[in-house]
Chains A and B, each alone.
Chain A
Amino acid sequence: MRKVALVANCLLNQNAKVCEGANYRGVVSPVVESLRSRGYELLQLPCPELAFAGVRRWWAVYEQYDTPAYRAHCKRLAQAIAPLIEQHLRRGDELILIGLDGSPSTGVRFTSSKPEWGGRPNRPQDDWEIVPRRGIWIEELEAELARRGLPAIPATGWALDMGRFDEAGSRSDLEQFLDSRASAAPARGKRRAAK
């Protein structure tokens, strides 16, 4: 059994971030180190915003991307990557998903929200809420996996888009999630053996 982490595109490539949103040159090293040191392989997800609104896009909130066209685009990307995910799941590999908390697309535990927001961005006056909800890309990806009859994948988010970024706190949060998976693994193995 292999351990595979599905990772948000920008965790391996910060060039995918919105204008003014990149916190690293390329690879987000603490995420990669935490995963590799625990034996996880990496499977990079496509970036839905880059392929839809381009690399020069401004930041946005969940409601701005919540359109039929963007959801159809996310569904197409999900169909592109789902066969690889399905292959791993059918083989019995252990999969986890690391998204980007606070992102309107790739948020796992949290996304950004401001229903009335629109028009020209105006930093630093612009403000939005962080709400406990999936981003649109993660919603569509999970829907595609469910359509294929696949189980939900345990998921968390690297808290890069939550406002003030705290790398040490984000790392500790991620490692807690990974280590809780590791300590639960023997119990999962026993349950399978008992069936």
Chain B
Amino acid sequence: MTADRRGWRMALVPDALINPPPRARAAPDVLKALESSGHGVLQLPPPGEHGLLLAVIADQVAEYAHHGYAVVAVGLAGRPDDGLHWRRLAPLLRRRRVALPPRHIIRAGADPEDEELRLAAFLAAHDLPLEEQRRWRV
């Protein structure tokens, strides 16, 4: 088996940013940006009732957050709850004793290059404190 290459960082991402409609292709390619920064993806479903699925996602975020992984969220302005189901997800995370992940919101209609730079800066800036990284990431 090869050395483990996991990046220990991941992002909650709305369906609308993983599967942007063709007319939105000019917006920053969030999946590409996450690939480049070494983040994994936790996909959130499109708008709708997804009670059980959101609970399953919250369980997974809790497992990561309690064991040395950094979790952030990247939303899309102009969508209900920025596409992140935050009104449902936040209480589910609190109930699991998870600090709410830092959020970055992509501005719809803004210059895609600016948005790419803002996103890259956000992704680079968020990780666990070094002491926590050393504790878990052996």
A residues near B (Cβ < 8 Å) are 12-17, 19-27, 29, 32, 36, 41-44, 46-47, 50-51, 54-56, 76-77, 79-81, 83-84, 123-124, 165
Contact = CB atoms under 8 A, between A and B. Distances in A.
A84 B43 contact: no
17 contacts: A15-B9, A15-B40, A16-B40, A20-B3, A21-B4, A22-B4, A24-B5, A25-B6, A27-B31, A29-B35, A43-B43, A46-B60, A50-B63, A55-B64, A79-B52, A80-B56, A84-B50
Interface residues of B, number: 36
A15 B5 contact: no
Nearest to A24: B5
B38 to A, nearest CB: 3
Interface in B1-56: 1-10, 18-19, 31, 34-35, 37-43, 45-46, 50, 52-53, 55-56
B57 interface: yes
A176 B2 CA distance: 26
B41 A44 contact: yes
Nearest to B63: A55
B6 A22 contact: yes
